[in-house]
Amino acid sequence: MRGQGLAEMLLEYMEVRYPGQSLGGHILYISVQRQRLFHVVDGLMRNNFTIATARAGLGTQVDSYRTPPGLHRVAEKFGDGLPIGSVLKDRLPTGEVVDLDEPGPDNDVITSRVLWLEGLEDGENRGGERDSHDRFIYIHGTGNEASLGCPSSMGCIRMANRDVIAIYEEVPLGALVVVLDN
């Protein structure tokens, strides 16, 4: 299923799964099986990107190195105005810029931009040992774009640097992010 049909199916699912949740504006849908991020705006498919989720699969426990499923929101954004390929550590630029023409080691380096996620489901991805924000779960650029398209991260959602910059620029704080194993 492609494009608009996928956006409509996603919104129908979210209306049932998350009743009362406002579904207008920007929604980022992370499909773990497809290793794709779909950007839906006001019910219309805007774009989609190849990503990488956790090598260890889905999960919510602290130190599990898994991508947390369920409903989140973009809580914080970092990297405004940095050059493409800039390395961030603890969400701050290090001054290093990776060479994106070189494949680089698969060391989960964080590059270009960070969208820090906050879980919205108590007991699932918010609170206690399962809290996505406390686990530092991000959508971020990667120094190894060749790793995209298959599960290879340590829990975060990796994107190509140009793609994460585009998403960073378009998606406001508070935008919904839903991670599904489909």
Domain edges within the chain: 3-180
Whether 142 contacts 159, CB under 8 Å: yes
pTM for the full model? 0.95
Q: What integer pLDDT is reported at residue 104 of this predicted model?
A: 64
Q: What residues have CB less than 8 Å from 64, skipping those under 6 apart?
A: 56, 155
Which residue has 């992370």 as its token pair? 30
- Please work out, in degrees rounded to the nearest 5, the angle formed at the alpha carbon of residue 24 by the alpha carbons of 159 and 71: 55
Predicted local confidence at residue 2, as pLDDT: 67
Mean pLDDT per 10-residue interval, the chain, length 182 residues: 84 96 96 98 97 97 96 98 97 93 73 98 95 98 94 96 98 98 93
Q: Is the dihedral of CA 159, 164, 170, 176 positive or negative?
A: positive
Q: Tell me, which fold does domain 3-180 have in CATH?
A: L,D-transpeptidase catalytic domain-like (2.40.440)
| 51/54 Cα distance (integer angstroms) | 10
For residues 101 and 160, the answer to whether their CB atoms sit within 8 Å is: no
